[in-house]
Structure 1
Amino acid sequence: MESIIIGQVIVATLLTVSVLLQNRGSGLSSAFGGDFGGYYTKRGVEKFLFFASVFLGTCFIGLSIAIVFLQNK
């Protein structure tokens, strides 16, 4: 149980770092009348950080669910 909690702390830290390292974009502001800056594809480090964020987020959710199930036993 402790190893799962330690893993969750590590994943949470890495997830925070990967999100903070990403470029700032217009985000949802373009959906509400913001300026459309054009379409571009993610490349290189930006693409890696995006997929790392998705992967780490999925791992974080999985570890959270595992902790809930293990506490109920």
Structure 2
Amino acid sequence: METFLIFLQIIVSLCLIIQILMQSEGAGVSGVFGGSGGFYRSKKGVEKVFVFLTIFLGFLFLVLSLLQVVI
């Protein structure tokens, strides 16, 4: 069971890394340090799905980490 959780956490962490890189691909280096365009716009379409998927993968990573501590 512990080996399965470790394997699952590795897969989730790789997916999370890829998801974060895909999400900030167009932002460049200035986007990493908070230098956005200076205006607010709502997220639509694919960008909204990317944000939701990033939050979900982060939550799943947290749950898997807590499960490993308990087991």
TM superposition score category, shorter chain reference: 0.7 to 0.9
- Structure 2: state its 5+ residue gaps: none
SS in 1 for 2:43: coil
Q: Percent identity?
A: 32
User: In structure 2, how many angstroms separate the alpha carbons of the residues matched to 1:53 and 1:29?
Assistant: 18
Structure 1: stretches of 5+ with no match in the other structure: none
Q: Does 1:3 align with 2:4?
A: yes
Q: Normalising by the residue count of structure 1, what TM-score does the alignment of the two structures yield?
A: 0.77
Q: Per-residue displacement from partner, 1:17-66 (whole Å, max 9, x unpaired)?
A: 10000132746635xxx762x11111111111111000000000100010
Alignment root-mean-square deviation, CA: 2.0
TM-score of the aligned structures, taking structure 2 as reference length: 0.79
Matched pairs, number: 66
